[in-house]
Homo-oligomer: A and B are copies of this chain.
Amino acid sequence: MKMNEGVEWALHSCVNLCWVGDTAVPAKRLAAFYELPPAYLNKQMQALVRAGILSSTSGPRGGFRLARRPERITLMDVVTAIEGPEDAFRCSSILADSPVGESGHDYAGSCFISMAMSKAEIAWRRELAATTIADLRDRVAKGFPESVEKIARELAS
């Protein structure tokens, strides 16, 4: 169970986009900041666009920008955009194939094991939804104020 590496890239890039105001930043420059493969980061950004987290512009002076205020973007939004909406644990209803189960029945909501695993994932999602990109931005601004200007300059060049 390994999370898509794009989640980390997407989160870092979203926070970075907070510092450049409303100007669009191309994937190439976002990738250069962390020395990431530009085309692959572009693929991840596309997922964020489809999820309505970013908006994209083509052509010269184009690129990506935040589609809404950072206060309205949670970590949960970003994770879901990259990983998809499905839970990590998926009840395959093996009970349906057992002597004590009913064939063809969906046990995702009734099997105690599935319910316990779902409860844990909900706790995880709740925690992710409680933090926003703005929270991260503020922590960086408070903890490393000297970096902010440098990031903005690097992404603008």
Contact = CB atoms under 8 A, between A and B. Distances in A.
Interface stretch (A21-29, A48-56, A57-65, A116-124): A116-124
Contact of A89 (B8, B90, B100): B8
Given A7-B89, A90-B2, A128 B120 contact: yes
A1 B88 contact: yes
A33 B96 CA distance: 11
Contacts of A11: 113, 117
Interface in A143-157: 143-144, 147, 150-151, 154
Contact of A8 (B83, B91, B143, B144): B91
Contacts of A33: 98-99
A19 B135 CA distance: 49
Nearest to A131: B116
Contacts of A147: 100
User: Taking chain A's interface residues, is the majority helix, strand, or loop, or is none over half, making it mixed?
Assistant: helix
Give the interface residue-count category, chain A: 35 or more
Interface of A: 1-5, 7-9, 11-12, 15, 33-36, 75, 83, 86, 88-92, 94-95, 97-100, 112-113, 116-117, 119-121, 123-128, 131, 135-136, 139-140, 143-144, 147, 150-151, 154
